[in-house]
Amino acid sequence: QKEVEQNSGPLSVPEGAIASLNCTYSDRGSQSFFWYRQYSGKSPELIMFIYSNGDKEDGRFTAQLNKASQYVSLLIRDSQPSDSATYLCAVKDDKIIFGKGTRLHILP
């Protein structure tokens, strides 16, 4: 059974600090990795994708991928209350497998 693991949280981070969200995956052959943000009662929204080892930055968001450790993370700099949501890690193998998500709460 291919798995994507995330800490369910909640992760509480003060406003303005860096939020760090982590994800591990079981299938070493996975090639594509995605982070989605899901507000309560809403559908997932793609915020980052990464295919290569290393870092990928987009505004306040940085995705980090380490295929050797089967680990992908999302850093959110200068956290804002509007970043409070559930963050879903997704990994593509023959299909896309989602983790259960980490609830992030930014403290004003």
Among 39, 58, 59, 100, binds another protein (CB under 8 A): 100
Segment interacting with another protein (CB under 8 A) among 9-17, 63-71, 76-84, 85-93: 85-93
Among 1, 29, 68, 94, binds another protein (CB under 8 A): 94
Q: Three-state DSSP class for 96?
A: strand
Contact between 43 and another protein per CB under 8 A: yes
Among 3, 12, 15, 46, binds another protein (CB under 8 A): 46
Nearest to 22, CA basis, from 75, 60, 58: 75
Distance (Å, whole) CA 67 – CA 61: 19
The structure tokens 């981070």 sit at 13
Q: CB nearer to another protein: give 28 or 95.
A: 95
Distance (Å, whole) CA 15 – CA 82: 10
Q: Three-state DSSP class for 83?
A: helix
Which residues of the chain form contacts with another protein (CB under 8 A)?
4, 32, 34, 42-46, 49, 88, 90, 92, 94-101
